[in-house]
Amino acid sequence: MRAKATCLVLAMLLGSLLLAGNGQAAYDPIDYSAPNHWLSLPSSINKGVDVFYLYPTAWQKTNASDPSICDIDNASMLYYSKNAYQRQATAFETVANIYAPYYRQVDLTPPPEVRTRLTAGIPTSDATAAFDYYITHLNNGRSFILAGHSQGSDVLVNLLASYMKDHPDVQKRMIAAYVIGYSVTSSYLAANPHLKFAEGADDTGVIISYNTEAPDTVAGTNPVVLPGALAINPITWTRSETPAAASQNLGSIMLNPDGSVVLDKDGNFLVVKDYADARVDLARGVVICSTADENKLAPGNATFGRGVYHSFDIPFYYYNIRANAENRVYKYLKIR
């Protein structure tokens, strides 16, 4: 992660030379003043704080010869990013106005180290431009939360390292950054002393991060878990290895095959109680869930090995994340 931080600027410059999904050999900046370049723009501002959300990987190549970065209007990305928003960003809707830009993404097929380099290019440049537009034209001085998952969190790691370092006045308004489904490492924090990791349920201005696995996940089969990764328990919000029982979980949500949320007969999220427990594994830097159905939810695929609950990082602990965001907003506003 230290090398990643030091090479970020170079990687962003190299990103301008990559082929965009439309086959044009030029990096064309996205116009974030255009509403169609936003997955979510609040129709009314009825909360005192905001969330800036970046969705996980929402597309994949259909042919090996396709470019490794998609268009901003890629049909698959537009569809699956909405499903990701439903199962992830809505956790924050009770406490904040949600802003979510579209950004061009890297395909999952390159090796992890190549994906990391490519993500530091066009995806990070897009998200940084969107965040700067949001801060300049939409935020109006409100405090905010950053939230992302998987590739979205990889991009947030870059944004936190660069944009926040260059804009300490903006960082002061950051209530928390939920960087879930990608690793925040000890070396990354050492290279970025302006950032700090969460220690409990109440601290603010901090990064919250974890990746969820089954007890028998084989090391090396989870490409988003990096050496030196840190994790916090999403039920107790502690960093110790003390387990939290599924009975302590405020509620999980389940997903349909397309990643959308399973609804009840009234069209509301079906709340699943007592499903997912949580225990921090300090050595591996992940959260272990021992009570979920591994055969059904994490059988393994070409990207993630068996026992990697990557798609369920947020759904397993959806209502705990909601309650924690509400609590951190309360604590932040109380001390200001």
pTM: 0.92
Dihedral (CA of 18, 19, 24, 25) sign: positive
Name the DSSP letter for residue 243.
-
Examine the pLDDT at 25 and tell me if it is beyond 60: no
Rounded distance between C-alpha atoms, residue 227 and residue 36, angstroms: 38
124: Cα separation from own chain's centroid: 13
Phi-psi region of 195 (alpha: psi -120 to 50; beta: other; left: phi over 0): beta
Instruction: State the number of CA atoms in the 13 A half-sphere of 133 facing the CB.
Output: 20
- pLDDT tens across 177-220, in order? 999 999 999 999 999 999 999 999 999 999 999 999 999 988 78
pLDDT of residue 16: 41
Q: Give 186's contacts (C-beta < 8 A, 6+ positions apart).
A: 228, 230
**Average pLDDT in the 249-271 region?**
97
- pLDDT tens across 224-250, in order? 999 999 999 999 999 999 999 999 999
pLDDT of residue 31: 97
Rounded distance between C-alpha atoms, residue 315 and residue 261, angstroms: 9
Q: Give 52's contacts (C-beta < 8 A, 6+ positions apart).
A: 99, 100, 131, 134, 144, 145, 146, 147
Q: What phi and psi, each to the nearest 5 degrees, are found at residue 272?
A: -105, 115
- pLDDT tens across 263-274, in order? 999 999 999 999
Examine the pLDDT at 35 and tell me if it is beyond 80: yes
- pLDDT tens across 64-114, in order? 888 899 999 999 999 999 999 999 999 999 999 999 999 999 998 888 888
pLDDT of residue 55: 98
Average pLDDT over the chain, rounded to an integer: 92
- pLDDT tens across 113-163, in order? 888 899 999 999 999 999 999 999 999 999 999 999 999 999 999 999 999
CA distances from 9 to 12, 121, 162, 166, 183 (A): 5, 9, 9, 13, 20
- pLDDT tens across 275-312, in order? 999 999 999 999 999 999 999 999 998 889 999 999 99
Q: What six digits make up the tokens of 79? A: 């569809």
Rounded distance between C-alpha atoms, residue 181 and residue 150, angstroms: 4
pLDDT of residue 74: 95
Beta bridge partner(s), residue 269: 263
Query: If pLDDT is split at 50, 70 and 90, which confidence band does 11 have?
Result: very low
Rounded distance between C-alpha atoms, residue 188 and residue 255, angstroms: 32
Beta bridge partner(s), residue 50: 97, 144
Rounded distance between C-alpha atoms, residue 294 and residue 147, angstroms: 26
**Average pLDDT in the 166-176 region?**
98
* Pairing verdict, β 174-180 and 143-149: parallel
Rounded distance between C-alpha atoms, residue 251 and residue 273, angstroms: 5
Closest CA to 155 of 4, 329, 294: 4
pLDDT of residue 64: 84
